[in-house]
Amino acid sequence: MHTSVVALSQGKVRGSVTGSVHEFLGIPYAAAPLGAALFQAPGPAPSWDDERDATHFGPTAPQLGYQEPLRSILHNPAVEGAEFLNLNVWTPDPAASGLPVMVWIHGGAYRLGSSAVSVYNGHAFARDGVVLVSLNYRLGAIGFAALEGTPANRGLLDQIAALQWVRDNIASFGGDPGQVTLFGESAGGMSVATLLASPLTEGLFHRAIIQSANGTIASTLEDARLVAADFAGRLDTTPETTPIPALLEAEQNLVLDFTLNQNPSRWGQSTITASLGLMAFHPTIDGHTLTQLPVEAIAATTNVPLIIGTTADEFRLYSAPTGLTTALTPETLTNVLTARGLDPAIADTYSANRPDATPGDVLAAILTDFAFRIPTIHLAEAATTAYAYEFAWPTTHLDLRACHAIEIAFVFDTLAAEGTKMLLGPDTPPQTLAAEIHRAWIDFAHGRTPWDAYNPDTRPVMTFNTPRSQLVSNPRADERELWSNMSRPEF
């Protein structure tokens, strides 16, 4: 194996070289959060005297992992160790200068995932002239429970610390700290929206890409304290002195209760509303890291150019593998919509536009719009400059179609990576489509205009699909208009 050595202020790191790409894995950007530090702001990055081996992924953040059926669909390796606040760098040439930088934040509902997922390999970005950085951050209750006496949003503070590390060190890998594009998917995309809104990120990134996310995911501090108190009450000792396995077990049990029992007096209305009833642990409007909902802050202050979009069938990742798309009855469809505060009559338009759809298919389409597409449109409308997209290529695997997370392997051009077929299935996905969307993200990182900017008059959306992608004006306008009176969360 060929190796490559880069000198940082922390010490030298020794990575590997494959073809033209230099890869440095598992570099700590903050102190290992041991003991009481597990629930404090990230500490200073460590230093070392000898060359540090950076040829293997570092530890991943503590988590229990996905449950079935998602465990069989989403690749999610676990690496044990205390130094899980680490990042990875892929570069075409550490001796270069001025290369555009892209920083990836992984998804996983703020409770799962890591930068070691095979699909997130940054080789193709570096091959094509970009310095790619991916990072780990604290998850679940460890990262986001608003416990008394601890800073809220520890997971976000980790992400900010990683961005500060990039600012201070990326030139050593050939990157330009003044040309950083932040991007992420799902909770990673929500993180990007939140970091856009944070007063602590000024100058740390200059463009952003938000994939399959939502700009309304944040609770009031008062309500977040309710969830955190419930979590602490499940422990035999204080959170700081509780072993990590016991913390994760308490978190898992709380999340199950939260999902099954949407009681505002127990969890706080803003926690339920902002998380769509799905995520007990997520960012908090704490007055420090975050002062208002991301969509509101983006509308008021940000002028960072965005690419923002969704997949065409987001919610099928959660409904199709469980059999819900085939088993749901018309009566249950009505009940589910009513329970979410939605007018069941909206199903008429969705059904008419999909004459062969089952009630489960209709529900998946409605919840795709409710949780992803409509909030994405709100973000696009709020931003100064936004380029909207929809990824519409469908897999036949498990009837997932163009489900949540399907576009990531195309964006990273990692269709052949280990674990990709878990989601995409045995069929051969179109490499031409991967080349197209991967190039669009790279062009944007260079500051080039990818396609027509979103505007409320023509609403252009780049639809990525085969046999060709095309810019579509105001797609599915009748369905979008059904949500025109849908209010954003107000706490």
- Domain 2-221+280-305, what architecture? 3-Layer(aba) Sandwich (3.40)
* pLDDT value, residue 275: 84
Retrieve residue 11's tokens. Answer: 């010490």
279-337 pLDDT tens trace: 999 999 999 999 999 999 999 877 899 999 999 999 999 999 999 899 999 999 999 99
**How far, in Å, CA of 36 to CA of 39, rounded?**
6
User: Within its chain, how far is the Cα of 416 from the centroid?
Assistant: 22
**How far, in Å, CA of 219 to CA of 287, rounded?**
12
Does the domain formed by 307-383+385-482 have CATH 3.40.50.1820? yes
Higher-confidence residue of 321 and 277: namely 321
* pLDDT value, residue 491: 44
274 has pLDDT over 60: yes
Q: Mean pLDDT across the chain, nearest whole number?
A: 96
Q: What is the CA radius of gyration of the chain?
A: 22
Question: Where do the domains of the chain lie?
Answer: 2-221+280-305, 307-383+385-482
**How far, in Å, CA of 141 to CA of 212, rounded?**
23
For residue 430, which phi and psi values (nearest 5 degrees)?
A: -75, 115
What band does 487 get if pLDDT is binned at 50, 70 and 90?
low
27 has pLDDT over 90: yes
* Residues with catalytic function: 186, 314, 404
**How far, in Å, CA of 398 to CA of 325, rounded?**
11
Locus of tokens 């194996």: 1
Say which amino acid occupies 377.
I
Locus of tokens 């679940």: 140
Q: What is the mean pLDDT of residues 144-158?
A: 97
Does the model's pTM come out above 0.85?
yes
489 has pLDDT over 60: no
**How far, in Å, CA of 137 to CA of 58, rounded?**
12
What band does 1 get if pLDDT is binned at 50, 70 and 90?
confident
* Cβ neighbours for 221, distance < 8 A, ≥ 6 positions apart: 146, 152, 284, 285, 286, 287
Domains 2-221+280-305 and 307-383+385-482 belong to one CATH topology: yes
Whether residue 352 contacts residue 360, with contact meaning beta carbons closer than 8 Å, is answered with no
Whether residue 289 contacts residue 214, with contact meaning beta carbons closer than 8 Å, is answered with no
In the chain, pLDDT over 70 holds for what percent of residues?
99
**How far, in Å, CA of 405 to CA of 423, rounded?**
8
Whether residue 82 contacts residue 59, with contact meaning beta carbons closer than 8 Å, is answered with yes
* pLDDT value, residue 427: 82
**How far, in Å, CA of 291 to CA of 201, rounded?**
13
Helices 346-353, 330-339: crossing angle, 10 deg rounding: 130
Helices 346-353, 359-368: crossing angle, 10 deg rounding: 110
**How far, in Å, CA of 288 to CA of 216, rounded?**
17
Q: ∠106-111-115 over CA atoms, to 5°? A: 30
* Cβ neighbours for 352, distance < 8 A, ≥ 6 positions apart: none
390-437 pLDDT tens trace: 999 999 999 999 999 999 999 999 999 989 999 999 889 999 999 999
181-191 pLDDT tens trace: 999 999 999 99
Q: What is the mean pLDDT of residues 90-108?
A: 98
Q: Strand pairing partners for 2?
A: 17
Q: Out of 340-344, 357-361, 442-446, which region has the weakest mean confidence (pLDDT)?
A: 340-344
